[in-house]
Chains A and B, each alone.
Chain A
Amino acid sequence: MKPLTRPNPHLTRLLLIGAAFLTVTLALILMQPSGDALATAPQEPASPQSPDDMSVTRADTGLIGLLPARDTAQDTPVDEITASVLASLSGSTAPKAAAPAPESADTLRNMTAGVLASLTGPTPPKAAPAAANMQDLVSQALRQGQSDAYIDALLNEAAASGQIAVPGALRTDAGRVDTATLLAALVRKSSPDTAPAPSFEANSQGVEVRVVQRAGETKRYNFYTVQSGDSLGAIANRFYGDAALFTAIFEANRQFLSSPDRIRAGQRLSIPEVTSG
């Protein structure tokens, strides 16, 4: 099927161009995987196992590990590699020869606590032995002379991780622990004489007093609009001087409140009179 005439010059040219194109394409394809620019530039995917301080030479990195020893590996003296391995592993692998020495009971206890925490999920039974009780946690922090802000952070963290149970009345509308009220309650408990007088008349924000006179009898109705950051305990503390009396407010507003921790900013609560000494 050879053409009888001289080959078509257009076809020859086309063929030449095609061949050239193909050569270039093939060359590019073949070069691509080993192209250093490509290899180093775009992504250096997660290899968190590579500490920066390792003295690994370029020759080493080019060589994917586990191959039988090659000459390039000798660029870095074995001693140095060993030293850097040992340095990076010191205290972490406890080589057989030195096994019993570095493991003090304390490290083991801490590690065991960590293990137990990760094995048993979010509420480690043994890992946080001291923090079982909220009041203990607070009094401990107070004894250490910690600031209110610190105690606040501590309590919220402990509550968030489920280490302590926080009474609903001490939950603010935002779900945080109302540390200020808790502290006030503790102070009041420890020194009842110096407790702040009930600021019933306090013309602070959200307080509303209605006086109704009916048949010779004067009745006062007190209302309070929940402010951002309030807890039921805080409100009780403000009106009665005692956070523990939150139940009176809770009972009086049962129809709006499903539980003491379910107050919302903007809610209007009726504040009953309490007859306490």
Chain B
Amino acid sequence: MRRLLGIFFAGACLMPAVTFAQDVRLTPDNPSKQITFETGQTLVIERIQDTSHQLTGEFTKTSRACPPFCIHAMSAGEGVETVGELEVISFLETTVARGQGLLLDSRMPDWFAKGTIPGAVNVPFATLQESNPYRDEILKALGAETDGTAWDFAAAKELLLFCNGPWCDQSPRAINALRSAGYPAEKIKYYRGGMQVWLLLGLSVKQPTS
């Protein structure tokens, strides 16, 4: 009886400590991810450790008017893979870090400036549309080659696009624009959750400096 009581007490004393030491991990095996790029640039993706933290502001809204903020299908087009957060992280770790791909933030520059997924490059959807007379320059920067008439995407980089979330049409539009330019679907991925879900999971956000 005494011993039982002792265990009971010990447990009661330890419980709060256990509660406070809780770790908010990415997965059971990975507390956080550190990724080093070819360029030497290093980034860390982790989650907010305060278990009582809640989002405030823009990304707590439920009822944006549709149109234009409509719910998007899971797929952004035939052959375009839709991915989640862990795939975004491993895309950064493997493809982007080795210079074989790019994580593209399809939002306009002012949104990008407020905070984006670490490692993302800002390519606003409008710059990929056919109406942009300078679009070819961007396609070339993405690794596509042209002989003046036809495009060759063999050396083009793998792209993973995102925008503000499932209600945001900017990355789907960017993907459509890329596809109609001839960019192969198997080189394009779509992170549908976007900033909304990324923030909701308390994942690291980077404010671009330049």
Contacts and interface: CB of A to CB of B under 8 A. Distances in A.
Interface stretch (A32-40, A139-147, A174-182, A208-216): A32-40
A114 B57 contact: no
A11 B2 CA distance: 9
Nearest to B113: A48
B19 interface: yes
Nearest to A107: B126
Contacts, number: 186
A81 B1 CA distance: 62
A61 interface: yes
Contacts of B64: 81-82, 85
Contacts of A15: 5
A94 B39 CA distance: 34
Given A48-B115, A49-B199, A94 B16 contact: no
Interface in B2-44: 2, 5, 8-9, 12-13, 15-16, 19, 39
A159 interface: no
A65 B52 CA distance: 15
Secondary structure call for the A interface: helix
Given A81-B63, A85-B65, A108-B126, A65 B200 contact: yes
Interface string A44-75: 11111111001010001111111111100100
Given A21-B12, A103-B131, A109-B134, A73 B58 contact: no
A118 B122 contact: yes
Contacts of B168: 93
| Interface residues on chain B, size class | 35 or more
Contacts of B54: 39, 61-62, 64
A134 to B, nearest CB: 22
A232 to B, nearest CB: 32
Interface residues of A, number: 67
B60 A29 contact: no
A9 interface: no
Given A22-B12, A29-B16, A112-B138, A93 B108 contact: yes
A65 B124 CA distance: 25
A85 B165 CA distance: 14
Most buried by B among A63, A86, A108: A108
A92 B122 CA distance: 13
B88 interface: no
A4 interface: no
B58 A18 contact: no
Nearest to B60: A65
20 contacts: A18-B8, A33-B51, A44-B56, A45-B202, A50-B57, A56-B57, A64-B54, A66-B196, A66-B200, A81-B64, A82-B65, A92-B110, A92-B111, A100-B131, A103-B132, A112-B127, A112-B135, A114-B122, A118-B121, A121-B39
Interface of A: 11, 14-15, 18, 21-22, 25, 28-29, 32-35, 38-39, 42-51, 54, 56, 60-70, 73, 78, 81-82, 85-86, 88, 91-97, 100, 103, 105, 108-109, 111-112, 114-116, 118-121, 126
Q: Which 9 A-B pairs have the closest CB atoms?
A: A50-B57, A48-B115, A95-B68, A112-B134, A119-B141, A92-B108, A65-B60, A82-B65, A39-B52
